Structure 1
Amino acid sequence: MKMKAFQLKRIDKEYDMHLQAWLNHNVTASKEQNKKMIPVYKKFEEFFDYEARLEEVEGIKRKKLTKQQKKMAHIAARINAERRF
């Protein structure tokens, strides 16, 4: 059992090393724009959204609203504001 646990732990380390190599490749990625190479990610936050990952782990879900939902929410807020007076 100890040997199998050691081998599984080793596989996890190999996975982490390969993941790190993949991330290193992605972070240095560039694209061509007007015959000039520019980085794909200009900020670290574009590459890794720390806050979103924390929310994902904590079980907090961001709800993305469609344009129509945003418009309806704006209209509802305006109507509610008018009713207060």
Structure 2
Amino acid sequence: MKAYRLARVDKEYDMHLQAWLNHAVTATKEQGNKHVPVYKSFKDFFDYEKRLKEVEKPKRSIITPHQRKMAKLAAMVNKERG
């Protein structure tokens, strides 16, 4: 039941995100005496090709000194345990 309830929360999140995006896409800004759309085209709102490139190109993660120290400790513990 817990998994079902968590899945429902995810669905609710998706619905609320969709509602927010529906609101954002209809946003206007004042330009002189008239209101004009903030996004003139769908690509202004969501650049599909740019997003694909971001996902396909893995980013180098920046490892902090603390994370490096913890990784060394974990490796030492694993080595001792066999």
Which TM-score applies when normalising by structure 2? 0.68
Change (3 A) 1:44 1:60: farther
List gaps (5 residues or longer) in structure 2.
Answer: 60-82
Matched to 2:15, the amino acid is M
Which residue of the other structure, out of 6, 13, 16, is the alignment partner of 1:15?
13
List gaps (5 residues or longer) in structure 1.
Answer: 62-85
Percent identical among aligned pairs is: 71
Which TM-score applies when normalising by structure 1? 0.65
How many residue pairs match? The answer is 59
Q: Within 5 A, what are the aligned runs for 1:1-85? A: 3-59=1-57
Question: Where has structure 1 moved over 3 Å in runs of 4 or more?
Answer: none
Aligned CA RMSD, in angstroms, stands at 1.3
Quote the Cα distance in structure 1 between the aligned partners of 2:36 and 2:52.
Answer: 30
